[in-house]
Amino acid sequence: MEGLPAVYVENCEEAETLTVALRDLQISATIYLQYTVFSNRNVITRNARLENTGNQVIKVDRFMSAVIDLPSCDYDFMHLDGAWIRERHITERPLTKGIQSIDSKRGTSSSQHNPFIALKGKNTNEDSGDVYGFSLVYSGNFIAGVEVDHYETSRIFIGINPFEFQWRLEPNEAFQSPEMVMVYSAEGLNKMSQTFHKLYKERLVRGKWRDRVRPILINNWEATYFNFNEEKLLQIANSANELGIELFVLDDGWFKGRNNDTTSLGDWVVDKAKIPSGLDYLSKKIRENGMDFGIWVEPEMISEQSMLFEKHSDWVLRVQNRPHSHGRNQYILDLTRVEVREYIISSMKNLLNSAEISYVKWDMNRNMTEVGSNNLPAGRQGEVSHRYILGLYEILEELTNCYPDILFESCASGGNRFDPGMLYYMPQTWASDNTDAIERLKIQYGTSIVYPLSTIGAHVSTCPNHQTGRIVDLQTRFHVAMFGAFGYELDATKLTMIEKEEIKDQISFLKRNRHLIMNGTFYRLLSPFQGNDAAWIVVSEDKKNALFAFVRTLAKPNPSFQRVLIKGLDPEVEYCVSGLENKYFGDELMNVGLLLPPFYNGTVKLNHSVFVGDFQSFIIELEANV
């Protein structure tokens, strides 16, 4: 689809497309509705295209990607909502008569509401029952909802948000909607999620990194914030290298004058006061030790205090002759302007050519307010938000094509733009600025409703945690973060010898298992939204290996024995279970359950159990006994 991200096929047997053309002879316009049905996936995609074949202008006020009618309203409306540092929490409510919807008006797909809704049958759970999921491949303002009418039928709608939107379609022009992806499952939510995961992993994410396991990284943001110099960076990188970490990521603060968040966005030149030898030297020095080097950028932004603003204050997105607001002390560049897009592309190319860079974290740290462009006439201001996203996609297409070896990770104050549109260009997204493992249980569990583990950026950070002040064992922090695109976000020079040894073990464990985590089938087992415990499992495609994870939030005195029903195993296969001498057949583990190791039993003799106190976790490896 011209200029818009979409799922794709690699050969024509994978899917078939039906195009329905609807002609309006009165105004001389045609709408093409495209339905693509996948042969081996329970997926239908839909997009719409409007062509103006007449000789008058058509003003488009609302143009959905899909509108779908279901004959009943006996469903629960499910979606993923939240806020900064508590993104994508699972929310459900029964459908009622009238219109119920979620949306974003913030210029990004947003952390308030993810561009996804589902309709769940009344008895649907993780493993059984009907569910229809609708996901929009788009990164800007969207709306998704359901209208239940007087005959109790449900009309689902999803597409660009009509709020402040209007598109002037001139004769001989066409308007293309983003793509909607619909997944149906008759086997509950896990199956719906697995269908989304496989599709997005195999046929949305593109390029070399689609099928590659991701490097274990260390990011200096929470270690130093803006306060670092070359020596400190090299010390962190060296310590990380000794632990087995593969990629060092230099976060915000590396460019000229950037000692806090009030300045310098737009000027992508290295700060020699902090990094006197320059980025090329730094990247080479880090590479000498066998690690790769990555860098943070926020190219869509401009600070008032910057050389770029001195030259091009007119490049700011704003409504003319009206006051305009800062967000995190910064303005947004007007990506509807070709010269702005060219500037971003050339400044990024200069940067990426200036050093040995193998990873880019592409950040975006404010929402849009007072959305206007002096590039467009008054009658076209309703086009700005969508044109901005089209401009962003054009930039990303160019840069990701030019640098196919670079691993790109998108970020927007954490998960403010975690959507399928961004995943088309960048195979992973920093899921949240919240690195607290206990908060991450909900964030990652909710994210897994639509998005595969390989796309979910997750890091082990220091304690007390910087967002919540919580203290959680290093083991639990690892057990939660390892089920994602994994890394560390701490000062490796400050680790104790014991922590270093533990991290070395974590890294070698992860290196052995990351292929399984990235490519296996993910099942949610116990929901952190419903109780004190969370559990999940990843099972290899041949069902010979699996990794089971369990996290208990608060300690319970004298708890009962607990079994968890495992999913996804081969019932006929006997499995070795790490930590246990006996072997168990898949059917026993799935129907009777896996008996969990004992937690603290309430006596003073703590040595009965290794799991004492709050926030405890363990991983169990299952391996077919062949």
Shortest distance in whole angstroms from residue 296 CB to ligand DGJ: 5
Shortest distance in whole angstroms from residue 411 CB to ligand DGJ: 5
Q: Interface with ligand DGJ includes 430 (CB under 6 A)?
A: yes
Q: Interface with ligand DGJ includes 248 (CB under 6 A)?
A: no
Residue nearest to ligand DGJ (CB): 252
- In the complex with ligand DGJ, the residue whose CB is nearer, 179 or 252, is 252
Q: Which of 384, 366, 364 is nearest to 374 (CA)?
A: 384
SS3 282: helix
- Neighbouring-strand partners of residue 49: 32, 176
Q: For residue 271, which phi and psi values (nearest 5 degrees)?
A: -85, 105
Q: Interface with ligand DGJ includes 77 (CB under 6 A)?
A: no
Using CB under 6 A, which of 141, 177, 194, 365 touches ligand DGJ? 365
Shortest distance in whole angstroms from residue 193 CB to ligand DGJ: 25
Shortest distance in whole angstroms from residue 457 CB to ligand DGJ: 9
- In the complex with ligand DGJ, the residue whose CB is nearer, 165 or 418, is 418
- Residues 133 to 152 in contact with ligand DGJ, rule: CB under 6 A: none
SS3 230: helix
Contact 289, 235 (CB under 8 A): no
Q: What is the DSSP letter of 464?
A: S
- In the complex with ligand DGJ, the residue whose CB is nearer, 130 or 491, is 491
- In the complex with ligand DGJ, the residue whose CB is nearer, 373 or 413, is 413
Residue labelled with tokens 């979409």: 6
Q: Interface with ligand DGJ includes 414 (CB under 6 A)?
A: yes
- In the complex with ligand DGJ, the residue whose CB is nearer, 411 or 577, is 411
Q: Interface with ligand DGJ includes 413 (CB under 6 A)?
A: yes
Question: Which is catalytic among the residues 267, 433, 436, 533?
Answer: 433
Per-residue binder mask for ligand DGJ (CB under 6 A), 432-461, x = binder: -x----------------------------
Provide, for the chain, the percentages of residues in helix, strand and coil under a 3-state DSSP scheme, each rounded to the nearest 5.
Answer: 25, 30, 40
Question: Which is catalytic among the residues 130, 252, 267, 363?
Answer: 363
Which segment (277-285, 410-418, 572-580, 599-607) binds ligand DGJ by CB under 6 A? 410-418
Which segment (110-118, 407-415, 448-456, 556-564) binds ligand DGJ by CB under 6 A? 407-415
Calculate Rg over the CA atoms of the chain.
Answer: 25
CA distances from 523 to 137, 449, 538, 568 (A): 24, 10, 6, 7
Q: For residue 540, which phi and psi values (nearest 5 degrees)?
A: -65, 160
CA distances from 257 to 249, 353, 362, 478 (A): 19, 22, 20, 35
- In the complex with ligand DGJ, the residue whose CB is nearer, 42 or 365, is 365
Q: Is 433 a catalytic residue?
A: yes
Which segment (36-44, 271-279, 408-416, 615-623) binds ligand DGJ by CB under 6 A? 408-416
Q: Is 363 a catalytic residue?
A: yes
Shortest distance in whole angstroms from residue 96 CB to ligand DGJ: 36
CA distances from 552 to 305, 467, 479, 528, 613 (A): 47, 20, 12, 9, 9
**Length, in residues, of the chain:** 626
How many residues contact ligand DGJ, by CB under 6 A? 11
Residue labelled with tokens 């190319």: 349
Alpha helices (H) along 403-550? 420-425, 437-447, 474-481, 497-519
- Read out DSSP for 158-172? EEE--TT--EEE-TT
Alpha helices (H) along 355-429? 384-402, 420-425
- Residues 209 to 228 in contact with ligand DGJ, rule: CB under 6 A: 221
- Residues 280 to 299 in contact with ligand DGJ, rule: CB under 6 A: 296
CA distances from 391 to 19, 40, 457 (A): 27, 34, 25
Which segment (53-61, 129-137, 338-346, 411-419) binds ligand DGJ by CB under 6 A? 411-419
For residues 333 and 265, give the distance between their C-alpha atoms in angstroms, rounded to a whole number.
10
Q: Interface with ligand DGJ includes 411 (CB under 6 A)?
A: yes
Using CB under 6 A, which of 267, 292, 363, 439 touches ligand DGJ? 363
For residues 431 and 409, give the distance between their C-alpha atoms in angstroms, rounded to a whole number.
10
Burial (Cβ within 10 Å: 0-12, 13-18, ≥19) of residue 428: buried
Which segment (9-17, 406-414, 475-483, 564-572) binds ligand DGJ by CB under 6 A? 406-414
For residues 6 and 181, give the distance between their C-alpha atoms in angstroms, rounded to a whole number.
9
Shortest distance in whole angstroms from residue 466 CB to ligand DGJ: 11
Using CB under 6 A, which of 251, 267, 292, 491 touches ligand DGJ? 251
SS3 17: strand
Residues that bind ligand DGJ (CB under 6 A): 221, 251-252, 296, 363, 365, 411, 413-414, 430, 433
Residues with catalytic annotation?
A: 363, 433
